Structure 1
Amino acid sequence: MADITATMVKELRQKTGAGMMECKNALTEVEGDVEKAVELLRVKLGKKVGKLADREAAEGTVQSYIHANGKVGVLVEVDCNTDFVARNEDFIAFAREIAMHLAASPTTKYISSDDIPQEDKDKESRVFEQQVADKPENIRPKIVEGMLKKWYSEVSLLDQKHVNEDKHESKTIEQLRADLSAKTGENVVISRFSRFAVGE
């Protein structure tokens, strides 16, 4: 089983313009061979792939959200390929929705689970292993895997369901990002964010 790194995912995204999870899944399927993953994505996604190849997300928007009580605020940068899309209402609305979500999600520290340092993942894994030490040995790895997945959804933005689940049909931030990417035909990238809270 090849170790799929964030760098490999990023390289594949730049070559194809496909979404982060699509790239990660393709790399997993071909055991980390980037060129084979490009072929696989071309088959799966057809004409959409390659349109964005070698085009970096150098345009975009910075949006903010400040909670009504004035005690929590967020700045978020969302990037795309063209200035045309950067000024698009759907694109700006998406960035604002992300800022609002982050204001309500104080545990979010990373954009993707790929951004979490391996040592932090290992540390959490060790803690979870100790917590399930009393369970039958054959099911412990599965339980730990589930606990890690839940932890990712607490600290990693793309793994989270948008806080306004009714409005967004319980979709994750990654699903919303992929939908917008498909709709605009551009590589939509949540680049960075800062959350400010009084007293923190």
Structure 2
Amino acid sequence: MATKITAAMVKQLREMTDSPMMECKKALVEADGDIDKAVDVLRKMGVAKAVKRAGRDTNEGTVAAFISEDGKKAALLELSCETDFVGTNPKFVGFATKLAGVVAENNPADVDALKALPMAETTVADELTEQIHLFGENMKVLRFVARSTENGAFGSYIHNGGKIGVIVEFSFTKPETGASEEFKTFAHDVALHVAAVNPISARREDVPAETIEHEMSIYKAQAAESGKPEAIQERIAQGRMEKFYKESVLTEQEFVKNPDVTVGQLASQVSKSLGDTIEVVKFDRFEFGE
């Protein structure tokens, strides 16, 4: 006896595949109500645009980083899946890195724009669908960022199997600086530092004004409790603000691999060694699931 095809089944298949309602109904009839088989029917018909596998959570995944060969373009991308088994699979991680490469080269406006871009001999959307079928799990591009520079290069670091990803932009004046092993090691180490310490901003001047105002209001209130003259209270508050900068701003933080120098001082040391002026410009840090 044939399985009754209900409106709810058609709706579920439509949500999973973005396919037309009548085609979904036909596929379900042919598959005798089996949703997974109906997906294959739609794929063979060429009408399944994507398989969302509705109802399955995507709480695992990876953050991938990409830097172009010349170091001038970079991207971070967060790709989710259903299980840690897939999230740590080298092929899944490799696919995420390829997606980050597409982002770096094209700087799409959003996820939909990314999906429409060419990849391999098809589109990102089709490649994503293929990976969904290959692994048998739902996958989603959660977010990404693309960066480029004319007078510098990028460093990157991926921590804990893709749970944290960082790209850092540096500026310098000599083109050969970016190709030197000393710079590449320095750039990698600064990105590692960002992953470990999670600073607020790269430079003091980049700390949001509202953050400074909020911190100062707290420090002034604390200083007022001392009962000391206002002039001294102001110095106390300013002193605590300075401590905040040293703890929160990348270039002023103690370098995680050598606390005897700050990241800014390390940049100066490498600059002197390479005969250039290297500056930390900004960074992006993705922590999976944040």
- After TM superposition, the score normalised by the length of structure 1 is 0.63
Instruction: In structure 2, give the amino acid aligned to 1:157.
Output: L
Candidates 151, 160, 177, aligned match of 1:68 = 160
Correspondence list, 1:62-101, <5 A: 62-101=154-193
SS at match of 2:154: strand
Question: In 2, Cα distance between the equivalents of 1:113 and 1:137?
Answer: 29
Counterpart check, 1:141 vs 2:231:
no
Secondary structure at the residue paired with 2:205? helix
Aligned residue number for residue 186 of structure 1: 276
* Structure 2 equivalent of residue 127 of structure 1: 218
Partner Cα separation in structure 2 for residue 136 and residue 182 of structure 1: 47
What is the rounded CA distance, in whole Å, between the counterparts of 2:172 and 2:223 in structure 1? 43
Q: Which amino acid aligns with 1:78?
A: F
Aligned residues: 140
Specify the alignment match of 1:39 in structure 2. Answer: none
Contact persistence 1:59–1:86 (CA under 8 A): no
CA contact (8 A) 2:167 2:283 kept: yes
The 1-side partners of 2:184 and 2:282 are apart by 15
**What residue number does 2:140 align with?**
none
Counterpart CA distance in 2 for 1:105 and 1:98 is 10
Aligned residues with identical type, % of pairs:
31
Counterpart residue type for residue 254 of structure 2: K
Relative to its length, the structure with more strand (as a share) is: 2
Shift of 1:155: 2.5
2:203 aligned residue: 112
CA RMSD of aligned residues (A): 1.9
1:152 maps to: 245
Whole-angstrom CA distance in 1 between matches of 2:153 and 2:216 = 36
> Does structure 1 residue 175 correspond to structure 2 residue 253?
no
Q: Which has the higher contact order (CA 8 A, sep 6+)?
A: 1
- Write out per-residue CA displacement over residues 175-194 of structure 1, whole angstroms, 9 at most, x where no aligned residue: 11111122222121212211
Report the CA distance shift for 1:189/1:68 in structure 2 as closer, same or farther (over 3 A).
same
Greater than 6 Å deviation, 4+ residue runs = none
- What TM-score comes out, normalization by structure 2 length? 0.45
Letter in structure 1 aligned against 2:187: A
Offset of residue 69 of structure 1: 4.1
Q: Contact (CA 8 Å) 2:202, 2:249: kept in 1 or not?
A: yes
